[in-house]
Structure formats: structure tokens, C-alpha cells
Amino acid sequence: MRVALSVLLCASLLAGAGCSKHGDGKSSAGSDDARKLRIITWSDYIPQEIVDQFKQETGIQVEVSLSNNEEIISKLRATGGAGFDLAQPSQDRIVSAQQEFRIYRPIDLTKVKVDEFRPDLLEIVKKNASLDGKLYALPYVWGTEGLLVNSKRASISDYMDLCRADLKGKTSVRLRRPTLMAFALAIGKDPFSLYGDTKAYSALMDEVGRTLIACKPNFRFFYDNKDQLINGVRSGEIVASMMWDSVSWKLNRENPDLKYVNPKSGAIAWLDTMALPARGRNDAGAYAWINFTMRPDIAVKIAKSIGNFTASQGADALMDPRLRAQFAESFPDGMKNMKWYPAIPPGLEEIEGRVLDRVKAAN
């Protein structure tokens, strides 16, 4: 990794992204920091071929640490936002963490090729990941969580169908907050509209908890990871469950009887992002990576690795035709029936945790 490559990076890729280092997280072109990009992200989000191509084009070595939303916050909180140059939290988990712990720094849109992003997804992130007029993330990949069903053995249309008497002992959900949100929607309530009213939100979560406790005889097990559920579905032990679209579509390609269903009350849509830790040492490399991964030819490789669609403008047209057909079958009206997670205010997850504990402990 020659210094000349880093100089080229600053001059060509970053379009003035700032290559001096004065203790503010920006690296000098010749420094060791400029030659390494440390990313904390999710499994499958950064394929090795993308890492190799980025290094070939820029001279920057990418170091990947696998994590999840909770660990990203925990690790950055413990270090005051140090240890990584780019993080990939979900867009609803950024503002509260920033308010409490100040672990991110704002995005400088002058260093980003904004036209590479889908405008609709960029607007969602601007709405949910902005604080005090500053934007703290950019969209990366997105997907939904809805219902998976063996269509030869059952027909379902909404989350509450998992509690039907004919499916006793044959369904499954995760004991996590998406299940609380889904069942709130299924009983006709909008949990997201109550984010600003702790008392009303707590009452709704209690109601959802009682609904899940009544439904417990239907749950064969609460799954902890996708492999556990996949095994249950393949063996026939599980007939219907909550599940992510990408996993459901993968199973559908193996067995056409397994269908991903967009629930009547709405599939819950998630969006993972790219954010700058407050004390990262290579902002220049981070912006280069952001612009690199939003190129359609690169984004489609990332999408293939994950099994979901990306925020790259133009990448959808390059996606696997089978995946595009599966999306069209599951979502004939496009994105109209999707419920996007808004930013989670501090304190709500503690309420949810108590409810989930009660459901787990109930006989």
C-alpha cells in the first residue's frame, strides 16, 4: 500500500474530503490511519470480493468486525466513539444513541455522491437519523419482516393468524421487539405513533404482552437465529412464522410451497446505514467507501451477499431477476404496505424488555 495510492485517493476519490490530521479524526494522506479502514457491521454486509476490489482501487485495507445494533452502541459507548472508522447501525437506533452517548459525528454531504442514493430511502434516513439539523447516517441496505408460510399446509394473511387454533404448536416468532411491533399492528394499533407518550406506549406493550402470552401454546419455540427457524421449516415442524424477506425468498427458491407473505397490517421495514463514529481516524477512507459501495456495479454484489436490496440508485435493475420476481409477488403494490421503523426514543426498549421477560416466563 504505497503512499502514492493514498494521495490518489484524496485527490481523485474524495473530491476534497479532507486529508489532514489534527486530532479531529481526519487522516493525513501518508499516515498509517489513511491506509486502513475499520468497519463494524453485520454478517454478509461486506463480501470479501468487495474488500479486495476496494483495496485494489484505493490502496486501503478494510478490517471488518461483525456485530449488531446493541453491540455497535455498546462498543462505541465504551470508547467514546473510537475504535472504528465506519459503523452500520439501523436507522432507528442512531438518534437516541447520539443523544445519550455522543458516539457519532455528522455526515458531510459535500463529500458524498448523493445522486448515487435512492432519493426515497435517503429521505427516510434524513427523517429518522437527523438531530439538531445534522444528519448522522446514510442508507445502505433495507428489507422487511413479515410472514413465512408453508402454503400447502396453511393459508395466513396477518400476524394474528399465527395464533389460530388449527396452527397450535406449529408456529414461531422471536422474543424481540419486532414481534411486539408486529402484534401491535395486528391488533389495530400503531406503536410508532405512541413513541412520544411513554404511558400510552407502556399500556400498549402490556396489551401486546397479554396477546402473546395467550398465543404461547401455538409457538413451537421462540427462535434465536435464522438457522434455528430454517431447520424447523425444512423439517415441517414449523408451518408458519414471522421471518425476514431474504430468508423466506431463499427458502422459496428451494421449495416453492414456502411463501413470504406481506401481512395485511403491514410488513415491518428496516434500513441499515453507514455512520461515522465520533473518534474514527479515517474519515477520508470512510467517505471513499461510502461512494464506492453505492456504485450500482458494487452495490449489486453486496445485495447478492445479503439477499436484500440496497440504497444504490440503479442497482435494482441489475439484481437477480428471480429476486426481483419474488419481491413483486410478495409486494404487488411496491412499498405501500411497509411500516418503517422511526427513531426509537430513549427508554422505550426498557419497557419492551420487561414485557418480553413476562412473555418468556409465562406458562
pLDDT in tens, 259-274: 999 999 999 999 999 9
pLDDT value for 354: 98
Q: Return the CATH superfamily for domain 143-269+324-361.
A: Periplasmic binding protein-like II (3.40.190.10)
The whole-number pLDDT of residue 33 equals 83
Mean per-residue pLDDT for 330-351?
94
Parallel/antiparallel/unpaired status of strands 61-66 and 36-41: parallel
* 142 burial via Cβ count (<10 Å: 0-12, 13-18, 19+): buried
The answer, yes or no, to whether residue 11 has pLDDT greater than 90, is: no
Query: Is the model's pLDDT at 122 over the cut of 50?
Result: yes
Q: Could you tell me the pLDDT band of residue 24, with boundaries at 50, 70 and 90?
A: very low
pLDDT at 4 over 50: no
pLDDT at 7: 36
pLDDT at 105: 98
Q: Where are the domains of the chain?
A: 3-140+271-318, 143-269+324-361
* Secondary structure E strands in 189-348: 219-222, 240-244, 258-261, 267-274, 276-277, 309-310, 338-340
Q: What percent of the chain shows pLDDT beyond 70?
A: 91
Q: What is the pLDDT of residues 194-251, one digit of tens each?
A: 999 999 999 999 999 999 999 999 999 999 999 999 999 999 999 999 999 999 999 9
For residue 307, pLDDT over 90 is answered with: yes
Least reliable range by pLDDT among 7-16, 41-50, 283-292: 7-16
pLDDT score for 77: 97
CATH no., domain 3-140+271-318: 3.40.190.10
Report the pLDDT value the prediction gives residue 296, as an integer from 0 to 100: 98
Q: Three cell numbers at 94?
A: 442512531
Q: Tens digits of per-residue pLDDT, 160-177?
A: 999 999 999 999 999 999
Residue 280 to residues 11, 14, 126, Cα–Cα distance (Å) = 21, 17, 22
Q: Quote the pTM value.
A: 0.89
Query: How do strand 171-173 and strand 219-222 relate by DSSP bridges?
Result: parallel
Residue 363 pLDDT grade (very low, low, confident, very high; cuts 50, 70, 90): confident
Residue 331: predicted pLDDT: 96
- Decide which of 18 and 123 is more confident: 123
The answer to whether the beta carbons of residues 76 and 83 sit under 8 Å apart is yes
Per CATH, 3-140+271-318 and 143-269+324-361 having the same topology is answered: yes
Q: How confident is the model at residue 84 (pLDDT cuts 50, 70, 90)?
A: very high
State the pLDDT confidence band at 31, using cuts at 50, 70 and 90: low
